Structure 1
């Protein structure tokens, strides 16, 4: 009798631990989803530079210091004379200021610098569109525009349940296309599921 009671208690403890682990995993997933959905889709964000972004750097009056450069995997821009400049997660204006400061440090008296993003990291779209794949991101890109770029919906598309996995997140966020325009960031991944009827 004692052995049966002990076995029963052990089973309850193990079951409780398993449920706790599962609920912890669910809670973590839920938290991650909330964090991802907390990202504002309804308004454009300031563009933040990242690896593979290609920039045109113009230092006025200094053609040898000007040119086209790519942000490397470490988020740095390797420029003539001043070397590696941190660029990852910076706005264009922030990077301009950083380059000006570096050039003033013993190189040029009053440098004037202009930056332009020539090509950005891509966004991704998969599922029920005419041409799923990887596409160049343009600043201010909306979800609706991204679907159009991919050739529009296929006839099997479920347009009421679209999912976005924001860049840097492991979880998809369900979105609804009715209402406000939804803005994307480079690196975002869109999935258009299939309808079942």
Structure 2
């Protein structure tokens, strides 16, 4: 028997809501992260890598991501960086990182700034040092943008450019959130053909509000939200249907 339209809509909302709770709720003993607005320094990355190595996790994906950042830096050709230099309109714009034996910025009148091995947290200092050769006490503001692909069972899949300080969960929300067919527990982040985040560690990171930078992501990484299988979807719907009579009975008793 077909369900009434209003009840069918309620079921859809319940399924979507349950999926969002699954990815967003932190563990009971977890505290909301307050570091999402801070870019990782070289010292912090080294400390985190040392911690992973002491814990015997030196071969895990997280340690590998940190080593890559420490060795190669955060920038690659195609990245976009918003720069504002006070009193210098020709240096105030969005610039694209190019490749010339390594990632670099080509700035008008002041030449090339090499970004090989530079972390996001070091970018402002690198630019200030370079500009100081041409300008007196330059006042610089910078904002790198990370272009991520949000793919699969989200409302608006596609590429999204975000500041690395932003929580990855916010980028998912910008994509409209998960659809009713999403398998939240199967979400993963891929770099090329390699899965770099998945399962419980990814769900925990999302629930704690980890930023793009904290997750050691870079431009071109892809968040994939898979589709639930038919059997799993059927079981979830049955579970929702079973709870409806109890909810109706409880509401009736309250009245």
Is this a same-fold pair by TM over 0.5?
yes
Determine the structure 2 residue equivalent to 1:87: 115
What whole-Å deviation, never above 9, does each CA across 1:33-74 have from its counterpart, x for those lacking one? 82257658xxxxxx944432132241x45x376322322244
Matched, 1:34 2:67: no
Determine the structure 1 residue equivalent to 2:125: 97
Determine the structure 2 residue equivalent to 1:28: none
- Secondary structure of 1:151's partner? coil
8 A Cα contact 1:96 1:113, kept in partner: no
- Secondary structure of 1:121's partner? strand
Does the C-alpha gap of structure 1 residues 94 and 83 become closer, same or farther in structure 2, counting only changes over 3 Å?
same
Determine the structure 1 residue equivalent to 2:139: 113
Q: 1-side partners of 2:110 and 2:142: how far apart?
A: 19
Greater than 6 Å deviation, 4+ residue runs: none
Determine the structure 1 residue equivalent to 2:155: 130
Matched, 1:76 2:76: no
Q: 1-side partners of 2:121 and 2:150: how far apart?
A: 30
Determine the structure 2 residue equivalent to 1:159: 184
Q: 2-side partners of 1:64 and 1:161: how far apart?
A: 47
Determine the structure 2 residue equivalent to 1:174: 198
* Residue among 56, 76, 81 paired with 1:54: 81
- Secondary structure of 2:179's partner? coil
Number of residue-to-residue matches in the alignment: 155
8 A Cα contact 1:76 1:88, kept in partner: yes
Does the C-alpha gap of structure 1 residues 168 and 159 become closer, same or farther in structure 2, counting only changes over 3 Å?
closer
Q: 2-side partners of 1:114 and 1:136: how far apart?
A: 21
8 A Cα contact 1:129 1:152, kept in partner: yes
- Alpha-carbon RMSD: 3.4
Q: 1-side partners of 2:182 and 2:63: how far apart?
A: 22
With normalisation by structure 1, the TM-score equals 0.61
Unaligned runs of 5+ in 1: 1-30, 41-46
Determine the structure 2 residue equivalent to 1:140: 165
Does the C-alpha gap of structure 1 residues 96 and 65 become closer, same or farther in structure 2, counting only changes over 3 Å?
farther
What is the CA-CA distance between 1:87 and the residue it aligns to?
Answer: 2.5
Worse-superposed segment, 125-134 or 174-183: 174-183
With normalisation by structure 2, the TM-score equals 0.49
Determine the structure 2 residue equivalent to 1:20: none
Determine the structure 2 residue equivalent to 1:14: none
Q: 1-side partners of 2:211 and 2:173: how far apart?
A: 14
Q: 1-side partners of 2:64 and 2:92: how far apart?
A: 38
What is the CA-CA distance between 1:158 and the residue it aligns to?
Answer: 0.8
